[in-house]
Structure 1
C-alpha cells in the first residue's frame, strides 16, 4: 500500500511553500465520499487527516468541509462534468495550480491498493478541439508520487 511515512511528511512540512489547514475529521472525509460515491485513495485520506488541504509546493490542494474555494466538494461539484468531458472519461479534481490547471484522479485505472493515477488537466490547451489530446496528461502514478513531485 502506498502511504505517507514520517520522512515524507517532514518534507511536506519543511517545504517553504507549504501552508496546510488543520486536520480533517474522518466524518467529513466519509461524508464527502458518500456524497460523491467515490472513495479517496488511502494515501490522500491519510494526508487529509494530517492536513486538510492548503498550499503544498506549487499547488492548491483541496480539503473537505472548508468554507472557501478550496473545498473539495465545491470543486468536484463545479468542475467534474467539464473536466470529464475534456478528459474523455471519469475523473475527480483534487488540486489546482496557480495558473488554473487541475490535477485529477483517473478513475479508469484504479490500483489493487485503492490508489489512483493522477492526470494533469492543462487549461491552456482546452480552448481548441485540435488541442484535446494535449489537455490531459499523466502526471503521477498515485497521490504520494504527486506530493513528492510538487514539493521537489
Structure 2
C-alpha cells in the first residue's frame, strides 16, 4: 500500500484495534488493520477512484479515524453506530471508512472484504445506491490515483 496519507489522527496500536472490533462486534480484514496501524484516518495523496462500470471518478475527501479524532475528522464507530444502529440505514456488515465531498460513504463489506460506495443523496439506501468498487481493501488503496485537478495544481 504505497499511497501516503496526510492530516491523520494520532497513531493507534493493536490493542486499540482489538477494542474497536470488540466494541462493534466485528472482525476487520488484515489489510484494513495494517493500513489503520500505519494511517489512522486522514487524507490520501491519491484520492480519486475510477469506477469503470460507470465511466466516472469518485473522490475521497477524508478517511475516518478509529480513535483520537482531530477537529476535522470523524470516528468510524460514530458513523457506523449512527447509520447501522440508530437509523438502521446501513446493514451491519458494511463498515464506512471514508467519505466523498457530498457525504457519500466508502464502505467495506466485512463478510466479503469488498469495497463499495454508498450514495446517501436521499438519506436512505435504495436500489442502486450501493455500488461495488473493487475486491479487497489493499486493492482499493492501490487503485486510488491523483485527481485531474490535483495534477493541474502541480503545473
- TM-score with structure 1 setting the length: 0.72
Match for residue 47 of structure 1? 35
Which structure has the highest helix share of the two?
1
SS at match of 1:151: coil
Q: Determine if contact 1:54/1:61 at 8 Å carries over to the other structure.
A: yes
Q: Determine if contact 1:19/1:55 at 8 Å carries over to the other structure.
A: yes
Match for residue 56 of structure 2? none
- The runs of at least 4 aligned residues of structure 1 exceeding 6 Å deviation read none
Match for residue 95 of structure 1? 98
Picking from 73, 76, 86, the partner of 2:77 is 73
Please give the alpha-carbon distance, in whole angstroms, between the structure 1 residues aligned to 2:124 and 2:15: 41
1:42 shift after superposition = 0.6
1:144 shift after superposition = 1.2
SS at match of 2:103: coil
Residues 1:128 and 1:75: Cα distance change in structure 2 (over 3 Å): closer
Please give the alpha-carbon distance, in whole angstroms, between the structure 2 residues aligned to 1:82 and 1:70: 18
Please give the alpha-carbon distance, in whole angstroms, between the structure 1 residues aligned to 2:35 and 2:105: 18
Q: Determine if contact 1:54/1:70 at 8 Å carries over to the other structure.
A: no
Structural RMSD (CA): 2.3
Match for residue 147 of structure 1? 141
Please give the alpha-carbon distance, in whole angstroms, between the structure 1 residues aligned to 2:27 and 2:33: 9
**How many equivalent pairs are there?**
127
Q: Determine if contact 2:89/2:124 at 8 Å carries over to the other structure.
A: no
Please give the alpha-carbon distance, in whole angstroms, between the structure 2 residues aligned to 1:20 and 1:35: 22
Residues 1:27 and 1:151: Cα distance change in structure 2 (over 3 Å): farther
Residues 1:27 and 1:77: Cα distance change in structure 2 (over 3 Å): same
Unaligned 5+ segments in structure 1 are 110-115
Unaligned 5+ segments in structure 2 are 48-58, 147-155
Match for residue 83 of structure 1? 90
Please give the alpha-carbon distance, in whole angstroms, between the structure 1 residues aligned to 2:105 and 2:76: 12
1:31 shift after superposition = 0.6
Which structure has the highest strand share of the two?
2
1:108 shift after superposition = 4.1
